[in-house]
Structure 1
Amino acid sequence: MDTVSHVIFGFGLGALAQIDPVISSDSTLSTAVLIGSVVGSNAPDVDFMYRLKGKSCYFRNHRGLSHSLPAIPILSLLLSTFILILFPGTSFSHLFFWTLLAVTFHVLFDIFNVNGTQALRPFSLKWISLDFLPLVDPYIIMIHILGFSLLPFYPPGSVFSIIYLGIAFYLLIRLISALLLKRKLKLHFSNALQIKLIPKTAPFKWSVLIETDMDFLFGSYSQGDLWVEHTFSKKIDYPELVLYSSKDPKVDYFLRSTHYAYPFVQKRKSGYFIYWKDLRFRNKKFFPKLAIMFISLDNQKQVSYSGKLFSIKHYKKVMKDLAASIK
């Protein structure tokens, strides 16, 4: 989920905590729990500090250790201890419980979307994603806003008990829908090596990535119908250059952040552009998350880029900058 959604969840959990009479009857504890739930809802994203080492380093490490099993209690304990210093005498057990719940919610909701996390570290480096929630879900945000609008009229604990029951039901429906769709597609595409669902904002609408031995199929699914919009052959041109490019630090960091990157090579007069595109994210035939490496014909000049392109204009600027840096 995005930062705004995590913050909203933090305030929602702070309101839900008021269902506990120990918290609702103590204004100091209520404030401490609210701070713990809001900050805890964003605590795993402390790995934003990797940006200080560059975007490539951030892509490699984001949603890794800070979203792992050991990190959940550690972050919760550290945060609760710090808040307790600011609010001495408050109940540590209550503060820790709601902070822990907030941190856990953050990791869970990151697992629910297409990016996933390495939640099982250090036992496994596998990325876990359940693929049934979009990165930003407006329905969850709107349900929270509805709950906040009712707080002046009804007890916050009761309001958000109902709000979160509604959200749990919504999540269950989306999860079941994703599981049934994937099962249906696997039966139809029996030769598929893997099928990846990318949930759209509207419920029951999906972008679909299907990998076979020969190619990738990209399509959209809605109302029981699948439209295959275009395909890419899995044939790789200039495999030696592709292998060489994968060892570039920026490209390597990018490849470590996704198992859905695929290389495309474009030959020009001055050399070769190798594009590693994350196939999960696309707008028609435009793939915004990618790594690009240029290798001159004589192999003497090399330059690379990795990141997210926000538009065709941004893509052209990146290509222009790369071209300028090799002159």
Structure 2
Amino acid sequence: MDTATHIAMGVGLTAIATQDPAMAGSFAATATTLIAGSLIPDSDTVLKLKDNATYIANHRGITHSIPFTILWPILLSLLVFVFFKHVDVTHVWMWAQLAVFLHVFVDIFNSYGTQALRPITNKWIQLSVINTFDPIIFIILCLGIVIWLFGVHPFVVFFPIIAILFLYYIIRFRMQAMLKRQALKAIQEEHNPVKVFVAPTMKFMEWRIAIQTDQYDYVGRSYGRNIVFSDKTKRESLPSSDFMKYVKDDVNIKTFLNFSSIYRWQATPQEDGSTEIRLIDLRYLKNGHYSFVAIAHLTQDHTIDHSYIGWVFSEEKLQKKLYAH
């Protein structure tokens, strides 16, 4: 989820935690525990300061893993105890553990996903039923916070909200399953689908859809039950080993291959004799442009001249960023 929603979740948990007698003595300690616990797994956002490859490879990776889901509450409890010595550190730890767990748990439901089961597996868990920012969830949480601030008991406010959100998630899973069936019917002349990707947008009735068959890539959107494919491209295998053996170890290409769950590639000769290898994530098509790509320019002597990975929303900006690296 986005930062604003995580904060709203932290405030909601703070409201509930005020009913714990062991936490009731210090609202400041309670709020610090729950809000910080709801945000601390995203501390890896600072990796943006280094480069895109490092950020994409690690964001929601180790900081959302099993060891760190256990470690964050311990560290947070110690910090809270340092500043609020009168608190019950055991209860602080339990509430911090709940906040951190919920942060990691809700993140698996969007398209970016997390490596929540690391070190058991490094696989990205991307259930793709909730948009990174879901306005319905955010509005519901904010309404609950406002009602609580007006003096309504937090149990009366937030327990029904938990039930509503539970039902909302079920509805989103059912919508996704229905759209997968609809999408496969729409391309029924292609008998061997390889991958089907259906993910939400900020609009409740609009979803992103990408399908790979053994022959074509289909990319489009659903509007209600109506599915419109705006891009159909002949599917190609990955570039030949002659290409890949030179670019596969480039940090940007390697990061893309580890992260993207459904993509295609292009190899385009350039005027200077180099070859542009472009990997295109099919999940992010908007206004005719694929915004998440990895590019490597392979020179005639098989060295990488430029490479880049990231989200860019126009070809002009993409080229500027490519040659800036």
**Both structures adopt the same fold (TM-score exceeding 0.5):** yes
User: How far does residue 176 in structure 1 lie from its aligned partner after superposition?
Assistant: 2.5
1:19 deviates by 3.5
Shift of 1:197: 0.9
Partners of 2:165 and 2:137 lie apart in 1 by 7
C-alpha displacement of 1:261: 3.5
SS at match of 1:166: helix
Task: Summarize the alignment of residues 42-191 of structure 1 with structure 2, pairs less than 5 Å apart.
Answer: 42-150=39-147, 151-183=149-181, 185=183, 189=188, 191=192
Contact residue 284 and residue 292 of structure 2 kept, 8 A: yes
Total equivalences in the alignment: 319
CA shift in 2, pair 1:138/1:310, >3 Å: same
Match for 1:265 among 264, 267, 270?
267
CA distance in 2, matches of 1:18, 1:111: 28
**Structure 2: how far apart are the matches of 1:237 and 1:48?**
31
- Alignment partner, residue 293 of structure 2: 290
- Separation in 2, partners of 1:41, 1:68: 15
SS in 1 for 2:298: strand
Q: Displacement of 1:142 after TM fit?
A: 1.0
* 1:227–1:300 Cα change, 3 Å: closer
Work out the CA distance in 2 between the residues paired with 1:245 and 1:233: 23
Higher relative contact order (CA 8 A, sep 6+): 1
Distance across 2 between alignment mates of 1:300 and 1:139: 49
User: Residues 238 and 64 of structure 1: is their aligned pair in 2 closer, same or farther, counting only changes over 3 Å?
Assistant: closer
TM-score by length of 2: 0.89
CA distance in 2 between counterparts of 1:52 and 1:180 reads: 41
- Shift of residue 52 of structure 1? 4.7
Match of 2:224 in 1: 223
Provide the residue aligned with 1:315 in structure 2. 318
Match of residue 256, structure 2, among 254, 257, 277: 254
CA offset digits 1:166-223 (Å, max 9, x no partner): 2222222212222343355457755211211111222243111111111211122233
Segments of 5+ residues of structure 1 without an aligned counterpart are none
Q: CA RMSD in A?
A: 2.3
Paired residues of 2:205 and 2:224 also in contact (CA < 8 A): yes
Q: Provide the residue aligned with 2:15 in structure 1.
A: 15
Rounded Cα–Cα distance in structure 2 between residues aligned with 1:312 and 1:33: 48
CA shift for structure 1 position 300: 5.5
Partner residue in 2 for 1:6: 6
Cα deviation, residue 102, structure 1: 1.1
Which one-letter code corresponds to 1:6 in the other structure? H
What is the rounded CA distance, in whole Å, between the counterparts of 1:300 and 1:170 in structure 2?
A: 51
Question: Structure 1 length normalisation: TM-score?
Answer: 0.88
> Could you give the per-residue CA deviations for residues 9-52 of structure 1, whole angstroms, max 9, x where no partner exists?
1112111223434434x2x1x32121111111111112224335
Q: Give 1:156's aligned amino acid.
A: P
> 1:158 & 1:237 partners in 2: Cα distance?
55
| SS of residue paired to 1:314 | helix
Please report how far the alpha carbon of residue 241 of structure 1 lies from its aligned counterpart in structure 2 after TM superposition. Answer: 2.2
Q: 1:37 aligns with which of 34, 49, 69?
A: 34
Aligned equivalents of 1:245, 1:260: Cα separation in 2: 19
Stretch moving more, 176-185 or 129-138: 176-185
CA shift for structure 1 position 53: 4.0
SS at 1:195 equivalent? strand
Structure-2 separation of matches of 1:18 and 1:304: 51
Q: Per the alignment, do residues 224 and 14 of structure 1 end up closer, same or farther by CA in structure 2, a change over 3 Å counting? A: same
Secondary structure at 2:18 match in 1: helix
State the distance in 2 between where 1:88 and 1:206 align.
49
